[in-house]
Chains A and B, each alone.
Chain A
Amino acid sequence: MTLVVDLKAEGPIPLDLSFRVAEGELLALVGHSGSGKTTVLRSIAGLWTPTDARVMAGGTVWLDTGQGVNLPPHRRHLGVVFQNYALFPHMSALQNVMAAMQTPDRREAGRLLELVHLDGLADRKPAKLSGGQQQRVAVARAMARRPLALLLDEPFSAVDRATRDQLHAEIIGLRAHLNMPVILVTHEMNEAQLLADRMVVIDKGCLLREGPTAEVMADPDALRAMGIREVAAMFSAVVVAQDEDGLTRLDAATGPIFLPGALGPPGTRLRVRVLAHEVILSRARPEGLSAQNILPATVVSLQQGDDPGVMVHLAIGGDEIVARITRRAASAMQLAPGDVVHVILKSMSVARDRIALAGQAGQVGQPLP
């Protein structure tokens, strides 16, 4: 059920990239606005035709300009969640979901709404639903066809931040039911890192870098187009307890860490994103420091960019963290692979929106047959 995408086009929107997405895999397509990522999605959906392209899903050729094959959108078996959801305004939530089915099945549509936690709102028209609720209807509608590929076009950009956090958790929870290739178009590196297995970074219609999310996010060369300040590492952690002063104690491979705010009951599994430029390194274990998280780590490698900074990749337990420090600091500390250093994380530097619930399969509804 792999999705194979191979696109080339010259103006007005130049494109030159190819990638594939495996079944059950979530690929984030990231780039600045105007980088061509939405055009890539539209080419897959058949809403735009590049000059020289091939798109194949589940063994079916949707588009092959060389062979003269170009299926219209309605004959490509896919699901799309549009940026502004594009729900049918004259239909209820349930009717919206049923509208995407070959043979409308009220029970199956109801089950899908339950899956996105909208049971009870099935009879509401889109105008009577909040932005977050509309997005969930759009997701349920896109899943209703049991598509060979699911395309999400900046689906979180039209809601406020609190709702976005919730919807992120929702998508992570849905992952167990998404057994088709999924493409998420976004310009938010944070979102890509929290949700995606793999990433494709594009700039001016060309592929800059493709690879597992953790690898791409720790590579300053890949992220030059998105801004070096986006380089970040991600590790998983489990909530242990919430202390009285408001800090939550987490258990991670890195050792205990403390983060602000209530992050859920003990046992909640989280993914925490740590930006490279917010990590401080120290040779000796520092004393009397305001930062709460001091973790021993081993230097894996140093990566020199063409700016005054150096990326230091560090192993902490089973996880990897990236620190961006100045070249001057790196040489003063005489850092070399294999060295043992202390990583200092300020508790407050891990913002709320950089934490996501880790996927807990089987908790939301029953898997699709």
Chain B
Amino acid sequence: MDWTALSLSLELAVWTVVILLPVSVGTGRWLAYGRFRGKGMVEALVMLPLVLPPTVFGFYLLVSFGRTSPIGAFWQDMFGHQLVFSFEGLVAASVIFNLPFAIQPAQRGFEAIPLEVREAAATCGMSPFRSLWKVELPLAWPGVMTAMVLTFAHTLGEFGIVLMVGGSIPGETKTIAIAIYDRVQAFDDKSAGTMAAALVAISFLTITVTFWLSSRVGRRLT
């Protein structure tokens, strides 16, 4: 059991969720309520990581984060080390490839709020921010929660993109999914089996907790 890899994976998942929570709420709400030209394009763009092969997606991230790219060069100047093959680079990649998981369910959650209820919030004197906090978030919460759990679980399991962007540096970019692959390559089936089982347990637990929480939300309405 590679504890370093496991804790690295959990750390990566937590950072991804923390960064994506406001993005999920903001973009999900915008796409749910907004009526504008090119909305279909934006939605398609958000969904793109879902259908692209991880190697293709990882390749483009590697190129755009690399030292010769503007982003990569800027990072190098600011922090003195390169973005690719670092934990920060991994977080950035993780945030991007999780966009569909973080935005779609939240968007559905906001879409489920009747227009009349939002208008009622406004005519009750609630500012847009107060309406979000008091009315919309409590109602869209199951969607936002699902988004965050999917993001968390998906980050733990992502393999291809992590390998392309991060490589396999122990303690820096070697996540548990990479570690499992690594162990299998070394014919260490026992370790691979233990880690795979741990990943199954964690994923199962997260999903169960979500279902429990959203059923509680459902009950709150009656």
A residues adjacent to B (C-beta < 8 A): 45-47, 72-74, 76-80, 82-84, 86-90, 99-100, 102, 125, 127-128, 141-142, 144-145
Contacts and interface: CB of A to CB of B under 8 A. Distances in A.
Given A86-B117, A88-B117, A90-B139, A128 B123 contact: no
A125 B126 contact: no
B121 interface: yes
Nearest to B128: A74
B194 interface: no
A73 B98 CA distance: 36
A74 B122 contact: yes
Nearest to A127: B222
Q: What are the 6 closest A-B residue pairs judged by CB atoms, nearest first?
A: A86-B120, A73-B122, A100-B124, A86-B116, A80-B123, A127-B222
B182 interface: no
Contact of B139 (A83, A86, A89, A99): A89
Interface in B197-222: 220-222
Contact of A82 (B120, B131, B135): B120
B139 A80 contact: no
Nearest to B123: A80
Given A74-B127, A82-B116, A99-B134, A89 B221 contact: yes
B114 interface: yes
Given A74-B123, A141-B124, A84 B116 contact: yes
A90 B220 contact: yes
A142 B116 CA distance: 14
Contacts of B139: 89-90
A73 B117 contact: no
Interface in B111-147: 114, 116-117, 119-128, 131, 134-135, 138-139
A84 B122 CA distance: 16
B117 A45 contact: no
B122 A88 contact: no
Contact of B122 (A47, A77, A79, A128): A47
Contacts of A127: 221-222
Given A86-B116, A88-B117, A89-B139, A79 B221 contact: no
A145 B221 contact: no
A72 B123 CA distance: 9
For A46, A90, A144, the residue with the greatest tally of chain B CB atoms inside 10 Å of its CB is A90
